[in-house]
Structure 1
């Protein structure tokens, strides 16, 4: 029996065909996420211009700009990695590594927004802030540690010139990548549990603070939605890393999660601005809302200093045209 028709050769050829199919599917999924980013941007751009652009510069506004516009940088890197068929063998390392760390950068930005939301939700609790800052740094450190170990374990197929197969992974310690998603899941879960604990302690839901237009109710609702969506994607990635064929298919959900994470984080901040405007127009719905009719022209919606015995109050100073949030 010739080497070409031997069972071993046939098995190797079958594995190669499956790897090529998986690579094409993963590439199309990643490139399809680019269309999602563009569509979301065009849909939300009018609200961004109206509610975000006029506001003063702050840390949260900088994070918003990053979460809105860095994904375009990321999709460029991802398209280069997934859409260039001539890349093969050692040429795949640079685009793959850039894509991987760009993914983690998106998570870093989105999680920073999530942590600041939690701190604001607590009424700027200084003790919580002392915990959140090192905790955020530690979680990100763990993620970078395992991602670095993961990219060091990679190897790629060296295809003949002109084959245009793209980057096909032949070796990867996917368990190390799953550790990154586990760290993301731990971060999401801990932030959400802290938010639920704060909401329970202050009886924000039971007492119906602010009705349907309450900023605090909006914080809680969006926070839960963010957790459910992102934790589901994180779990899906962990499952793929352990259960999917190790021919590149294990990466099928990575770009989906990262692009969705950026979209939700950006929309949450825009949604907060929109609802803040509505709250100002319906101030009678907030039992702890104070409306100032002085000659101060600037509008601020800010959280009162932390007091563990009372529900945090929202202070509003009304300007005739627009509202700006100090924290958001």
Structure 2
């Protein structure tokens, strides 16, 4: 029987999922006008599909997660729904990672060596993460009815073994930010001042800083917090990871659009969703070399 203290830990986990659901909904609403202006006019292609899955999939994650806590009372139903959630959760993160890989390829102007490096690392990440998820789910024991009615499905599952998957994604994103900073180091001074490249460097650095902090916190919670709240950071991390990838792409569309239709670049910067305080940066001579039409990054 769960103790009063255990129920408090469970409530922390459940509240974190409600917070994640709320953040996901607010993110979808807040970026919807930009999505209409910058994404909808483009033809349907791979990057558009990736963008839409990345943006809207966390809403399904958080909804299913809350449903597992509230409406799941049988072990068989818990097992089926949890497996669906686990694979969908990982798939959504991999879609987000694909956006970062595509952005890094564009930053390196589709350099064959960098493309091969990113492709190899990406395939390795997919295989490793899916394998770890499959192995963890295969050995998961699901609680019986009485405990399910008290605790819900997810908090009763031993999911600490998933930590290597999160660690690998941290390493993958560290590699991406290294490639970003190394490219910045190699670029001529005039090109560094360009709006498009400045946006790519700025957003890449900000994304890494935020996700790194949250990922480390998530790992610490998974490994050292009481089991009843070991998954409390997973849904917030998923939502924020997706939101940042969404804003990275929208900002690139803003910056790319400003280089081709005469929009004032300061006006673009003020309306971008993910932005630091920065001075005016004139367009570099090579800002037009990379096309983001249709999100072809």
Q: How far off its partner does 1:153 sit? A: 3.1
Query: For structure 2, which runs of at least 5 residues remain unmatched after alignment?
Result: 266-280
Q: Post-superposition shift, 1:28? A: 1.9
Match of 1:77 among 23, 41, 64: 64
Q: Which structure: larger Rg?
A: 1
Q: Which has the higher contact order (CA 8 A, sep 6+)?
A: 2
Partner of 2:173: 188
Aligned to 1:220: 201
Among residues 78, 101, 112, which one is paired with 1:126 in the alignment? Answer: 112
Deviates more, 1:23-32 or 1:149-158: 149-158
Q: Deviations over 1:102-146 (max 9, x none)?
A: 211111000000001000000110121122112101012111111
TM-score of the two chains, using structure 2 as the length reference:
0.84
Which residue is 2:271 aligned to? none
Map of 1:286 onto structure 2: 283
Mapped to 1, the partners of 2:199 and 2:172 lie a distance apart of 21
Q: Deviations over 1:175-221 (max 9, x none)?
A: x2111110111111111111111111224xxx15363x611111111
Aligned pair partner of 2:255 in 256, 275, 279: 275
After superposition, residues 170-209 of structure 1 pair within 5 angstroms as 170=156, 172=158, 174=160, 176-203=161-188, 207-209=189-191
SS of 1:191 mapped into structure 2: helix
Contact 2:47 2:294 in 1 (8 A): no
Q: Superposition RMSD on alpha carbons, in Å?
A: 2.6
Deviations 1:10-66 (A, max 9, x none): xxx5x5433332222212211221111111111111111111111233322221121
- For 2:159 and 2:241, the matched residues in 1 are separated by 24
Given the two structures, how large is their TM-score scaled by the length of structure 1?
Answer: 0.77
Q: Secondary structure at the match of 1:104?
A: helix
Which of 137, 142, 157 is 2:128 aligned to? Answer: 142
Aligned to 2:296: 327
Residue 4 of structure 2 is aligned with which of 1, 17, 21? 17
Q: What is the distance in 2 between the residues matched to 1:240 and 1:137?
A: 28
CA 1:69 to 1:258, structure 2 compared with 1: closer, same or farther past 3 Å?
A: same
Name the CA shift for 1:44/1:24 in 2 (closer, same or farther; >3 Å). same
The answer for unaligned runs of 5 or more in structure 1 is: 1-12, 291-300, 304-313, 315-322
Corresponding residue for residue 87 of structure 1: 73
Deviating 4+ runs (over 4 angstroms) = 161-164, 168-171
